[in-house]
Amino acid sequence: MGDNQHMAEYEIPLEGGNLNPGVVRVGDTVRRSAGSWTPAVHDLLRHLADHSYPAPRPLGIDDQGREILTFIPGDCVHPDNLAVLNTDGAMRRVGELIAAYHRAQAGYVSPPDAAWRTEGRDPTGSTEVIAHNDLAPWNLIAGPSRWVFIDWDLAAPGRRMWDLAWAVHSFVGLWPDSALTHDETVRRIAAFCDGAQVETLDRPHLLDVVIERTQHHSELLRSKARDGEAEYRRLVADGHADAWEQGSDHVAASRDRWSKALQA
């Protein structure tokens, strides 16, 4: 039996991201489409492994040209396990996991020929950190003993705040239809910032970057859809661009009130 036939027989489809369909599990590994960015991402993941940060480990490329990563056991938080995030303590834990990542990548030197992806990348050109760029519930696996971020293919140099902005919006859920009260929202943002080691005086600036980050994403979706890219046209048609624009507008409208409470 050929390797391809044997592999196909035991491939288990996994819920993939919007931009990376066709993700499968093979034994204790995950196979995903590779790209020009894959060597740099694998180099980063090896660095994280050397520094004992919990993340998928790269195992090379299979005979179909797909990247091979270790499978992370547990439940993806989004969409069916969001209840695990419904406490201040969970927000602090998420922030701590991100802070630990930013510490682990400190000192990392990317290969001189590194080709990072542009989707979601900080437009300022900052090299403060290698940002994950999609730290969100749909990329968090809640295992029995640890939480682990997956889907590192959007990693690229950027501001630390750029990485944190996407995360705090996505994990706290800073949407117009949020069920959280004002006080609950402020507590969740504060707990996240405590875990992520964002100083009190820097928290209003984080909200400013949230507005920037979410508006940038909405514009990115629309731009790529106009350019005819099928996946982005689908996302825009499904309302993703509108949702992120509304999320950005909601934070902008609430920014001063939240900032005042966060400074109190």
Of 13, 44, 70, the position where a domain reaches its end is 70
Q: Are residues 57 and 100 in the same domain?
A: no
CATH code of the domain covering residue 254: 3.90.1200
What's residue 59's pLDDT? 98
Which pLDDT value is given to residue 22? Answer: 83
Mean pLDDT of 92-107: 98
Residues 57 and 107 occupy one common structural domain: no
One domain for residues 139 and 208: yes
The average confidence (pLDDT) of the chain is: 95
51 and 94 assigned to the same domain:
no
Global pTM?
A: 0.94
Q: In what order do the strands lie in the sheet with 147-149?
A: 75-76, 140-142, 147-149
What domain range is 205 assigned to? 75-263
Angle at 190 (CA atoms; ends 175, 134), nearest 5 degrees: 55
Could you tell me if 24 and 43 lie in one domain? yes
A 10 A CB-CB count for 4 gives 11
Specify whether 62 is located in the same domain as 95: no
- Which pLDDT belongs to residue 10? 87
Mean pLDDT for 95-103 is 98
Q: What CATH number corresponds to the domain at position 56? A: 3.30.200
Q: For 186-233, how does the pLDDT look when each residue is reduced to its tens digit (9 = 90+)?
A: 999 999 999 999 999 999 999 999 999 999 999 999 999 999 999 999
Asked if 184 and 137 touch (Cβ cutoff 8 Å), the reply is no
139 and 80 both lie in a single domain: yes
Domain count, the chain: 2
Mean pLDDT across the stretch 177-184? Answer: 98
Share of the chain above pLDDT 70, in %: 94
Q: pLDDT for 108-118, tens place per residue? A: 999 999 999 99
pLDDT in tens, 38-68: 999 999 999 999 999 999 999 999 999 999 9
Domain end residue (candidates: 14, 38, 70): 70
Q: How far apart are CA 114 and CA 181, in angstroms?
A: 44
Residue 1 is predicted with a pLDDT of 40
Q: Which residues contact 97 (CB under 8 A, 6 or more apart)?
A: 147, 149, 195
The CA-CA-CA angle for residues 41, 71, 20, to 5°, reads 55
> What is the rounded distance in angstroms from the CA atom of residue 52 to the CA atom of residue 153?
20
| Domain termination residue (choose one: 70, 88, 105) | 70
Residues 149 and 200 in one domain: yes
Task: Tell me, yes or no, whether 84 and 63 share the same domain.
Answer: no
Mean pLDDT of 160-180: 98
pLDDT tens digits for range 1-34: 444 544 455 899 987 555 666 899 999 999 999 9
